[in-house]
Amino acid sequence: MDFVLKDENGFSYIDEGEGEVLLLLHGLMGALSNWQDVVEEFSKEYRVIIPMLPIYDLPLLTTGVKSLAKYVNKFINHMELDQVCLLGNSLGGHVGLIYCLSHPEHVRSLVLTGSSGLYENSFGGTFPRRESYDFVKEKVEYTFYDPRTATKELIDEVFQTVNDRHKVIRILAMAKSAIRHNMGKDLHKIEIPVLLIWGRNDKITPPEVAEEFHRLLPDSELHWIDQCGHAPMMERPLEFNQVLKGFLEKIKV
């Protein structure tokens, strides 16, 4: 990834382009590079910012989705951002939902793709065979419709992460926190426009999850991407960007 990672006041982030702000939130096993095609496409017309969520840096007792939402709030205040369009994949979507409920005044619209918050068939409650590269490879490939999307670089990164005891303990704590923090009863309070972009073949947050989000969110629209799994912006970037572009044009002031 050719974008510059900035470090400032304890925050690490990418900040590309100018204009209305698109704030991108990565998932539990995700990385900033997951959003590469979105940044390249939209930084021509928008200011695209991706904070590195401190999943591995929080104290174990406070490792959870609410803590990440508080971190996003601190980041937005530090950057003096307002009326952002928040985009979240997987855990990032969940964090975005919590932030929208706590600080609706700062969010203009929300985009969820493969978001947790209702139900997910996660990477696993434990990693019984995390030392096995083939096991990790299989789990990473499971994220996508086309297993070839799981590059060796991506598999190597996840393998390294799940074999780091400090990191894996926090991943498990964060995953349990996400399962406990079900958003179903609160979604009706989110009244801003919400775009749901979902892989028709998502096995982690299956299609019925998208349909439930669509039913519970008052101002939402749901777009399917065929032959696509849990991370549409990685697996089908052209289709993802096309749907996102249409949504952003529609909600322009």
Least confident of 8-12, 31-35, 37-41, 196-200: 31-35
pLDDT of residue 111: 98
- Which has more pLDDT, 126 or 135? 135
Task: Provide the 3-class DSSP secondary structure of residue 16.
Answer: strand
User: Poorest-confidence range of 6-10, 26-30, 71-75, 234-238?
Assistant: 26-30
pLDDT at residue 1, rounded to an integer? 53
* Sign of the alpha-carbon torsion through 126, 130, 135, 139: positive
Residue 240: is its pLDDT beyond 80? Answer: yes
- What is the arithmetic mean of pLDDT over 91-120? 95
Q: Which residues contact 28 (CB under 8 A, 6 or more apart)?
A: 55, 90, 91, 122, 123, 171, 174, 175, 178
Q: Name the pTM for this structure.
A: 0.93
Q: Where are the alpha helices (DSSP H) in the chain?
A: 36-42, 65-79, 91-102, 133-142, 152-162, 165-180, 207-216, 232-235, 237-250
122 confidence band (pLDDT: 50, 70, 90) = low
Q: Is the distance from CB of 233 to CB of 35 less than 8 angstroms? A: yes
pLDDT of residue 162: 87
> Given a cut of 70, is residue 110 above it in pLDDT?
yes
Rounded-to-10 torsion of CA 161, 167, 173, 174: -60
Calculate mean pLDDT across residues 153-182.
Answer: 90
Asked if the model's pLDDT at residue 149 lies above 90, the reply is yes
Q: How confident is the model at residue 124 (pLDDT cuts 50, 70, 90)?
A: very low
Domains of the chain in start order, with CATH, are 5-121+182-250 (3.40.50.1820)
Sign of the dihedral defined by the CA atoms of residues 117, 100, 9, 38, in that order: positive
* Predicted pLDDT of residue 241: 98
Q: What is the mean pLDDT of the chain?
A: 92
Say if residues 62 and 56 touch (Cβ distance below 8 Å): no
Which amino acid, one-letter code, is at 224? Answer: W
Q: Say yes or no to pLDDT of 129 above 70.
A: no
Distances in whole angstroms, Cα of residue 136 to Cα of each of 27, 64, 141, 176: 17, 23, 9, 20
Encoded amino acid at 131, one letter = E
User: Region 15-35: what's the mean pLDDT?
Assistant: 91
Q: What is the pLDDT of residue 87?
A: 98
d(CA 236, CA 225): 8
Which pLDDT belongs to residue 128? 53
Residue 210 — φ and ψ, nearest 5°?
Answer: -60, -40
Share of the chain above pLDDT 70, in %: 95
pLDDT at 121 exceeding the cut of 90: no
